[in-house]
């Protein structure tokens, strides 16, 4: 782990400490700089989840990834900077009416100011600052509110109040996971016919103007000083131009 290169990749300036202020900036800068994307999955290129491969892809090749990749790389950075990090397995509950399989990676992170939940691996609206592990306390992050509860089956449950409606977001249990533990659920996400990740382009990156710039198939939305805009990606040339300009991904 070359922390200097990683910090440069996410445009973090200053001397990193092991306090909440640093952790908050690291997660926010990561959202602004490293896209959520499934390009390799669509191209049927098998993902590598070891720390060295993730560093090479995200930092050296200036790419992104999805939760198993993004939170894997971010966790390695946090450890290298002196934070205590536990990788956990989660169930992504938002939008689900049945209990889904465990296919999400989250980071339980200890800093000088307490224990926080870090997650840079979600493409939809999510906490772009770490969530403190205080139960039943409502936390305001951006335009949304979040709270944590305990559940006998799910473990720790993160709830999101989005547009005035409370909903379960994801739930995780706290037994530590290794990189190898994510290979099997990632293989499912990459290859299974019922997976949502292998059907069409899925990209997202936090915009400095608010919200997220996103691609979903041929649908592209982005933010500027005038608000949110939507358009259709009409051809491969336009797709590559959008990927480069808005997500920093060069497919030329």
Q: How far is it, in rounded angstroms, from Cα 84 to Cα 81? A: 9
- Which pLDDT belongs to residue 34? 98
Separation of CA 67 from chain center = 5
Full-model pTM: 0.96
What are the average pLDDT values for consecutive 10-residue runs of the chain, which has 252 residues?
97 96 98 98 97 98 98 98 98 94 97 97 95 93 94 97 91 96 98 97 95 97 96 97 97 84
What residues contact 82, with CB distance under 8 A and at least 6 apart?
A: 18
- Which pLDDT belongs to residue 162? 84
Q: How far is it, in rounded angstroms, from Cα 252 to Cα 244? A: 9
Other beta carbons within 10 Å of 249 = 19
Instruction: Please measure the distance between the N-terminal and C-terminal CA atoms of the chain and give it in whole angstroms.
Output: 28
- Which pLDDT belongs to residue 142? 87
Q: Specify the CATH architecture of the domain 3-194.
A: 2-Layer Sandwich (3.30)
């Amino acid at each position: 782990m070359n922390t200097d290169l990683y910090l440069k990749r996410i445009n973090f300036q200053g001397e990193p400490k092991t306090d909440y202020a640093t952790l908050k900036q690291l997660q926010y800068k990561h959202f602004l700089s490293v896209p959520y994307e499934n390009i390799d999955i669509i191209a049927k290129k098998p993902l590598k989840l070891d720390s060295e491969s993730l560093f090479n892809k995200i930092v050296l090749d200036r790419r992104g990834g999805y939760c198993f990749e993004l939170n894997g790389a971010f966790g390695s950075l946090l450890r290298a900077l002196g934070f205590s990090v536990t990788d956990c397995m989660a169930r992504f509950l938002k939008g689900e009416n049945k209990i889904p399989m465990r296919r999400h990676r989250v980071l339980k992170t200890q800093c000088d100011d307490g224990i926080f939940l870090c997650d840079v691996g979600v493409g939809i609206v999510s906490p772009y600052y770490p969530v403190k592990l205080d139960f039943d306390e409502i936390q305001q992050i951006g335009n949304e509110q979040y709270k944590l509860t305990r559940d006998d089956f799910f473990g720790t449950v993160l709830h999101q109040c989005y547009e005035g409606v409370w909903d379960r977001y994801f739930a995780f249990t706290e037994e530590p996971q290794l990189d190898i533990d994510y290979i099997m659920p990632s293989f499912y996400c990459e290859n299974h016919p019922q997976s949502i990740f292998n059907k069409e382009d899925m990209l997202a990156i936090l915009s400095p103007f608010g919200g997220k710039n996103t691609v979903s198939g041929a649908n592209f939305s982005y933010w500027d000083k005038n608000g949110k805009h939507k358009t259709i990606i009409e051809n491969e040339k336009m797709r590559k131009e959008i990927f480069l300009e808005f997500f920093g991904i060069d497919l030329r």
